[in-house]
Structure 1
Amino acid sequence: MPSLDFKNPRRETGDPPYLLHKLKRGALLLGFLIATGFAIQLTRAVDESIATVIEPSQSTTSDHPVNAPVLPLLPELEIIEGEIGRGEAFSEALKGAGISHDEVFGLVKSLRKGVHRADFNPNIVQRGDRFTARIDSVGAIQTFEYIKRGSLESRILAEQTNGRLKAWKETVPLDRRVVVVSERIDDSIWNALRATGKNPDVLSHRLMDIFEYEIDFMVDCRPGDRFSIAFEEFHKDDQFVRYGKILAAEYSSGKDRHQAFIYESPDGDRAYHDEEGKSLRGIFLKSPLNYKRISSGFTSRRFHPVLKKYLKHHGIDYAANHGTPVWATADGTVSFAGRKGPLGNYIEVKHKNGYKTGYGHLSSFKRSVRKGAYVKQKQIIGFVGATGRATGPHLHYNFYTLAKGKYRLTNPSRVLNRPTGKPVPKEFLEDFNTRRDALYALFEHASGSIVTAFLKDADLQLAE
């Protein structure tokens, strides 16, 4: 057996060099022949298999050409669902659900561009808001849906279009119903509305807004008074969503009866009118704020809580929380805004027809309110406080009438509140009377009845 040379492993001692060379050439030739034969057989097998596949397809009918390229399948989208957690930010919730930082940034950018800030603000989200995103294999958002907690009326959508996310708000169609309720008042309008099974917070404020020139529900309500209201409700799949407008209302107190009917004339003017078509809008509002109670009325003899003696109190004190907004009871020009002795921070507004109103003990003024500024009716001018001579937060309201060139303090409840709004034009009175009668007839139905079917399509369009 030949021995190996460990210093040169490629060389074997005892054999001539040409023998090793022949062995290498032989091995290479044998490998080439084997590989060539295998390739030939493989080619034949492939050709036969192709022929086997093609031949049947040529004998069958198809809507697609035989040589048409096969399109790749679209990648499946991954669905990511999530919910805003307690104290969680919008971007934080999305990234926590597995959406990348860049995709969240692009989504926020498209939402700010396509959706009005009042409809959706990514910086202001609530716990319980839900979102659904569909992302592709590379993590890009293809569609996005955002639903605010408790909202059945709208949703925020985004979709990939031409390489960019486009966002918009979609309004969900709702079922509109007209409902009528009637009730007797035992202690307050709020409790009476609650007895009907409806939301007293919403409906009481809307009823107060309609009659705010005629009735102060905090002091004018009496046990035995009655009311009837016909209003809209909106539902989604038989689930209540929200209240709509009040279409008609009636309030009876003793011999007094107040009625309101919403009417939109053919020229587009919409407002509430009484049964004769006169506007319910008066010169002055019945109160200058939403208050808890009247702590002191207009009187010539009141025991002063600070001075401890009887004095005239020719104004009205409205008890309310500190910071409660105070509004002007009529259009006018600010004649005074500043500190005024015992009244503390005080605003005086001069109105047309010889009237003037004053607002005392304010904590602060609205920035735009200064002497000479014009203010509109129900425009906020200041906030309830306890400045000046006051034992607690309340508004002192003064009402002046001009007599013989001088302004005199007057009890506002005794001032004739003449209507200032536009009445129904004479050419539309017949149309108004027809719709008024249709709405008033609804009050004949039992409280809680759905009365949509008793109104014609034209009547239903009153509050659209």
Structure 2
Amino acid sequence: MKYLFFLERHLRDSFVLWRHFPTKHATLACGLAFLLISIIIFSEKNSKALKVVQLQTALQTVPEISPGPISEKSKPLSDPYLKSTNPSPQKSQKPTSKWTAFEVTEGDSLTSIFAKAKLSNQDLFRVLNSSVEAKILNNIYPGNELEFLIEPSGNLKKVRLQITPLEGYLFTQSDNTYKTEVITKIPEIRQAFKIGTITDSLFVAGQREKIPASTIMEMANLFGGVIDFILDPRKGDQFSILYEEKYLDDVFIGHGQILATSFVNQGKEFTALRYEDSEGEIGYYNPLGESMRKAFLRSPLDVFRISSNFNPRRRHPILNTIRAHKGTDYAAPKGTPVRATSDGRITFAGRNGSFGNLITVKHAGGFQTKYAHLSRYSKGIKKGKRVLQGEIIGYVGSTGGATGPHLHYEFLVDGVHKNPRTIVDKLPKAVSLAAEELPRFKQHTHNLQERFGDLQASSLITYP
């Protein structure tokens, strides 16, 4: 079109000059002009046609695009106007059964826990009467865990009682009753070795080495026949212990048995080894096969400081006179348990002058022990009752002529007061393993002694 516009403009200008041309020349000019216009129009039509042909050819050569997988980085459009107006309906989820757990606390009862779980007394009755084993539910204690699997309808499907991490019961509904299953898990046993030095007391030294308090007390009891842990330990004494630790699913759940332990008291070493004999009896023995359980415990208390040692010419704190103190005073808080130092029979239990509340125990071999100033007696303690070594017979007090809470302990041989700390050699000997049992003992404890010795040798400790 730009060519036509250009031509029209020049034709107007040329028309003015047309009249001045001769006729012959004007005719020739008109012919040339007509020819030029025809050529321009024809060229423009061909150009448009060529473009149309090229466009059609290009469209025919474009490859067909097929839908492929969506890239992981692709994201759905967030524009709400681009979303479908008819989304597919979602399927409704059915309600499922779920476990509900309750930890038994002080004051809880089975009835109250069932009520907390929104269960009826009828549910409780059906479970309790389902089997003999189910009666254990009546004896729940703080720390136990009760779990209930309750269906959406409210039906009680299962009850689980976890007594310890290793022991429990599962009650599963079957028709109108419940089937009982005993749950028992076996822990992984690992060994722990600790070694320490006494700077103040065995208990504090054990705590410093992160030994459980119960394990420290068990170790003290093992050596209770050879060491008085109130009077005997000295600064610098050393102890070592190899004991078990229990794990469940790689989680620590508690401590096990002491396997071997030793205590060096004032330069003298005592060693105790755990051994199960051919009859299945488990005990602790020294390397010679002698039992660590002696005829008498060295102390009637576990571990406490001493207030006054045995002294025949001790000035009495109340009467202010020289008076034989025929025993040993152990200072301890009121209510501290007092234990019998050996098996025997009670010959006296009652009030006795300056002794206050007193217990006298007669032992085999002409031995006798007395326990004075007690605040009270253990249940069932009376004259004629037999007691066992380590049995709690009373509790520390300050009755009678006592200036403060403490235990006055006396030891008599054939009616004569003796210092139990100086007559160790005259006390009944420890029971040894039978001669036929000794070879088995040495065989079974050989590896234990070697391992224990290696651990001791490789553990170097220093304390200020």
- The answer as to 2:154 corresponding to 1:146 is no
Residue number among 146, 150, 155 corresponding to 1:135 in the alignment: 150
In structure 2, the partner of 1:42 is none
Structure 1: how far apart are the matches of 2:451 and 2:135? 39
Residue number among 84, 102, 111 corresponding to 1:83 in the alignment: 102
1:1-37 deviations in Å (ceiling 9; x for gaps)? xxxxxxxxxxxxxxxxxxxxxxxxxxxxxxxxxxxxx
1:200-349 equivalences in 2 (<5 Å):
201-349=213-361
Question: Does the CA contact (< 8 Å) of 1:338 and 1:346 recur in 2?
Answer: yes
In structure 1, the partner of 2:206 is 193
Cα 1:106–1:292 change in 2 (3 A) is farther
Structure 1: how far apart are the matches of 2:235 and 2:436? 41
1:304-336 deviations in Å (ceiling 9; x for gaps)? 332234432121112223233322211222222
In structure 2, the partner of 1:92 is 112
Question: Does the CA contact (< 8 Å) of 1:180 and 1:442 recur in 2?
Answer: no
Residue number among 71, 93, 104 corresponding to 2:124 in the alignment: 104
Residue number among 439, 442, 448 corresponding to 1:430 in the alignment: 439
Gapped runs of 5+ residues in structure 1? 1-74, 450-464
Question: Does the CA contact (< 8 Å) of 1:318 and 1:394 recur in 2?
Answer: yes
Question: Does the CA contact (< 8 Å) of 2:128 and 2:135 recur in 1?
Answer: no
Structure 2: how far apart are the matches of 1:268 and 1:320? 39
1:172 Cα shift?
1.8
Residue number among 191, 197, 202 corresponding to 1:178 in the alignment: 191
SS of 1:427 mapped into structure 2: coil
| Letter of the 1:415 counterpart | I
Question: Does the CA contact (< 8 Å) of 1:327 and 1:377 recur in 2?
Answer: yes
| Letter of the 2:97 counterpart | E
In structure 1, the partner of 2:419 is 411
SS of 1:326 mapped into structure 2: strand
| Letter of the 1:192 counterpart | A
Question: Does the CA contact (< 8 Å) of 1:281 and 1:421 recur in 2?
Answer: yes
Residue number among 125, 132, 144 corresponding to 2:142 in the alignment: 125
1:133 Cα shift?
1.8
1:183 Cα shift?
2.1
Structure 2: how far apart are the matches of 1:441 and 1:278? 19
1:165 Cα shift?
2.0
1:121 Cα shift?
4.7
Cα 1:437–1:116 change in 2 (3 A) is farther
Question: Does the CA contact (< 8 Å) of 1:263 and 1:272 recur in 2?
Answer: yes
| Letter of the 1:424 counterpart | L
1:28-47 equivalences in 2 (<5 Å):
none
Q: CA RMSD in A?
A: 2.9
In structure 1, the partner of 2:133 is 114
Higher relative contact order (CA closer than 8 Å, sequence separation 6+): 1
Structure 2: how far apart are the matches of 1:268 and 1:409? 40
TM-score by length of 1: 0.71
Question: Does the CA contact (< 8 Å) of 2:246 and 2:252 recur in 1?
Answer: yes
1:284 Cα shift?
0.7
| Letter of the 1:171 counterpart | T
Question: Does the CA contact (< 8 Å) of 1:234 and 1:244 recur in 2?
Answer: yes
Structure 1: how far apart are the matches of 2:197 and 2:443? 28
1:413 Cα shift?
0.7
SS of 1:426 mapped into structure 2: coil
- The answer as to 2:375 corresponding to 1:375 is no
Q: Which moved more, 1:391-400 or 1:285-294?
A: 285-294
Structure 2: how far apart are the matches of 1:365 and 1:146? 37
Residue number among 163, 170, 186 corresponding to 2:176 in the alignment: 163
TM-score by length of 2: 0.71
Cα 1:250–1:396 change in 2 (3 A) is same
SS of 2:404 mapped into structure 1: coil
1:106-136 deviations in Å (ceiling 9; x for gaps)? 335558x41575xx6555334xx54432234
Structure 2: how far apart are the matches of 1:332 and 1:86? 40
SS of 2:288 mapped into structure 1: coil
Structure 2: how far apart are the matches of 1:344 and 1:235? 49
Gapped runs of 5+ residues in structure 2? 1-93, 459-464
Structure 1: how far apart are the matches of 2:140 and 2:191? 37
Residue number among 382, 401, 406 corresponding to 1:394 in the alignment: 406
Structure 1: how far apart are the matches of 2:368 and 2:434? 31
1:30-65 deviations in Å (ceiling 9; x for gaps)? xxxxxxxxxxxxxxxxxxxxxxxxxxxxxxxxxxxx
1:441 Cα shift?
1.7
Q: Which moved more, 1:324-333 or 1:165-174?
A: 165-174
Cα 1:357–1:115 change in 2 (3 A) is farther
Structure 1: how far apart are the matches of 2:420 and 2:304? 19
Structure 2: how far apart are the matches of 1:92 and 1:178? 42
Structure 1: how far apart are the matches of 2:167 and 2:190? 19
1:84-119 deviations in Å (ceiling 9; x for gaps)? 4866734334323332332134335558x41575xx
SS of 1:285 mapped into structure 2: coil
Cα 1:294–1:108 change in 2 (3 A) is farther
Structure 1: how far apart are the matches of 2:218 and 2:335? 22
Larger Rg: 2
| Letter of the 1:147 counterpart | Q
Structure 1: how far apart are the matches of 2:404 and 2:266? 36
Structure 1: how far apart are the matches of 2:320 and 2:256? 50
Q: Which moved more, 1:391-400 or 1:83-92?
A: 83-92
Structure 1: how far apart are the matches of 2:400 and 2:369? 18
Number of residues paired by the alignment?
Answer: 364
Question: Does the CA contact (< 8 Å) of 1:364 and 1:385 recur in 2?
Answer: yes
